[in-house]
């Protein structure tokens, strides 16, 4: 099946009258409505999916920037100065700070802290602290949906500040167009961590607190790492924009991938900033702009968006199928009862899994037969 013979998709979830009015208010520029929508998204309030679906067609205008790095690198201070600099040039800004989750409430542990001191009272800077909800990469599905709300609202730039959980920060790539990795001077262990994997996601590397001893050495180490990433047997585009992503691309995207590969690739820059004073922030924003221009001019933005939506679809499908399977487990007496039956040798784990997933698979097969 292909083209017009492909299976039809279900209709988008239906908005309630109240939520439809809320979406209209958000699109009309109400910050109060924006805050309420993000609260519904974060809390997974019934009807939130219909809201996100309604907002989707209004997205695509914001530059989404991920700021990641180890704790203590100065991410929050830098994000504060970035927001102020964007405002100075007339851009509106949305900031989502993804904080560690409370083990008791699931809420953001640092959610009440004052993190945007330079922008207090500026209605064109919308700040929201959100819980990572236990995800090692620091980004929950709710965060991606909140980005859509800010994008649909009309924010020019959306900045994501992540937890800083080391190698698992690669999750930021799924939501951000441009990723900046912060490192503080003298952090040899941090640089070694970068070598373990996070190097591959950086479009920009920032040595913050560049007035500290060891800054130039850290810059040199990062530049050497970027050089090795470009040279050797690993192509330049093996991270955020290249071979690693191409490896997971659909065969139908081959032409697009080859086209992007044929264009001049992006060379990550290593910049220095002093977030406390704002030094280097303007140059950092210029680099963000240059990367956004690269994505547009090379056509890579299309591939980036496809990868992002592909991962989002996989995540949602896994979550929904998991919820169906959990309900089936409960219907059969709960996981403990099933485990006890396996322990008693009445059945085995494979047979249990087949019994739980089988009805779901049958429904999928029946739907496929109807589409045929």
pLDDT higher at 107 or 67: 67
Residue 246: is its pLDDT beyond 50? Answer: no
Q: pLDDT class for 240, splitting at 50, 70, 90? A: low
CA distance 122 to 125: 6
Could you tell me which residue, 2 or 315, shows the higher pLDDT?
315
Looking at the structure, tell me whether residues 225 and 363 fall in a common domain. no
Which of 254, 272, 298 is the endpoint of a domain? Answer: 298
User: Is the predicted pLDDT of residue 103 greater than 90, yes or no?
Assistant: no
Instruction: Describe the strand order of the beta sheet including 63-69 as a list of residue ranges.
Output: 125-131, 93-99, 157-161, 63-69, 178-183, 204-207, 269-272
Cα–Cα distance measured from residue 177 to residue 292, given in angstroms and rounded to the nearest whole number: 8
Assigned domain for 264 exists = yes
258 and 192 in a common domain: yes
Residue the block writes with tokens 């997971």: 248
Is residue 4 included in any domain, yes or no? Answer: no
69 beta partners: 182
**pLDDT tens digits for range 142-158:** 888 999 999 999 999 99
Cα–Cα distance, 68 to 56 (Å, whole number): 26
Indicate whether 322 belongs to any domain.
Answer: no
Whether residue 44 is found in the same domain as residue 124: no
Tokens 């939506």 locate to 309
For 179, residues 6+ apart whose C-beta sits below 8 A from its C-beta are 65, 66, 68, 172, 173, 201, 202, 203, 204, 240
The CATH number linked to 145 is: 3.40.50.300
Is residue 306 in some structural domain?
no
Range of the domain at 36: 12-58
- Residues 54, 79, single domain; the answer is no
Q: Are residues 48 and 74 in the same domain?
A: no
Selected residue with higher pLDDT from 356 and 140: 356
At 334 the pLDDT is: 96
Q: Which residues pair with 237 in a beta bridge?
A: none
Does residue 53 fall inside a structural domain? yes
Residues 281 and 366 placed together within one structural domain of the fold? no
Asked if residue 250 and residue 336 are part of one domain, the reply reads no
Number of Cβ within 10 Å of residue 18's Cβ equals 9
Give the highest mean pLDDT range of 207-221, 238-252, 342-356. 342-356
CA-to-CA distance for 12 and 349, rounded, in angstroms? Answer: 37
Domain contains 206:
yes
Of 86 and 255, the structure prediction assigns the larger pLDDT to 86
Identify the domain boundary among 256, 283, 298: 298
Do residue 148 and residue 164 come from a single domain? yes
Looking at residue 119, its pLDDT comes to 66
Residues 82, 172 share a domain: yes
Q: What confidence score (pLDDT) does residue 17 get?
A: 96
**Shared domain check, 75 and 41:** no
Provide DSSP, 239-286.
STTSHHHHHTS-GGGHHHHHHHHHSPPP--EEEE-BTTTTBTHHHHHH
Greater pLDDT, 337 or 363: 337
**Encoding tokens for residue 57?**
């067609």
Q: Per-residue pLDDT averaged across 31-46, rounded?
A: 94
Task: Give pLDDT tens digits for 48-81.
Answer: 999 999 999 999 999 999 998 877 888 889 999 9
Is it the case that residue 10 has pLDDT exceeding 70? no
Confidence of residue 227 (pLDDT cuts 50, 70, 90): confident
Structurally, how many domains does the chain consist of?
A: 3
Nearest to 64 by CA among 141, 129, 157: 157
Assess if residue 224 is contained within a domain: yes
Specify whether 185 is located in the same domain as 276.
yes
- Please give the backbone phi and psi of residue 342, each rounded to the nearest 5 degrees, phi first: -65, -40
Residues 72, 47 share a domain: no
């Amino acid at each position: 099946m292909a083209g017009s013979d492909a299976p039809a998709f279900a209709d988008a979830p239906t908005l309630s009258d109240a939520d439809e009015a809320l979406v209209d208010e958000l699109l009309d520029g109400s910050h109060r409505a924006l805050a309420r929508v993000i609260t519904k998204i974060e809390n997974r309030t019934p009807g939130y999916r219909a809201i996100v679906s309604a907002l989707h067609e209004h997205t695509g205008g914001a530059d989404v920037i991920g700021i990641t790095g180890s704790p203590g690198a100065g991410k929050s201070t830098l994000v504060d100065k970035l927001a102020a600099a964007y405002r100075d040039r007339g851009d509106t800004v949305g900031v989502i700070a993804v904080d560690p989750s409370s083990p008791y409430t699931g809420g953001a542990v640092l959610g009440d802290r004052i993190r945007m001191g330079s922008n207090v009272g500026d209605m064109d800077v919308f700040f929201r602290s959100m819980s990572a909800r236990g995800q090692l990469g620091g980004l929950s599905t709710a965060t991606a949906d909140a980005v859509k709300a800010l994008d649909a609202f009309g924010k020019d730039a959306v900045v994501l500040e992540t937890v800083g959980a080391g190698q698992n920060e690669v999750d930021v790539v799924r939501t951000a167009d441009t990723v900046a990795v912060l490192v503080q001077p003298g952090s040899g262990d941090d640089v070694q961590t970068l070598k373990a994997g996070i190097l591959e996601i950086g479009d920009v590397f920032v040595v913050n607190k560049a007035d500290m001893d060891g800054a130039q050495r850290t810059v040199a180490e990062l530049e050497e790492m970027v050089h090795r990433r470009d040279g050797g047997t690993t192509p330049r585009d093996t991270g955020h924009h290249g071979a690693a992503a191409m490896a997971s691309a659909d065969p139908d995207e081959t032409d697009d991938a080859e086209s992007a590969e044929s264009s001049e690739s992006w060379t990550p820059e290593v910049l220095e900033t002093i977030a406390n004073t704002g030094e280097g922030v303007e140059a950092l924003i210029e680099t963000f702009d240059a990367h956004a221009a690269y994505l547009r001019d090379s056509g890579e933005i299309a591939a980036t968006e496809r990868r992002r939506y592909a991962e989002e679809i996989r995540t949602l499908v896994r979550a929904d199928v998991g919820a169906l399977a959990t309900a089936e487990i409960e219907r059969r007496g709960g996981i403990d009862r099933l485990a006890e039956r396996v322990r008693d040798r009445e059945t085995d784990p494979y047979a249990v899994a087949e019994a739980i997933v089988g009805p779901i698979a049958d429904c999928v097969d029946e739907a496929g037969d109807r589409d045929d």
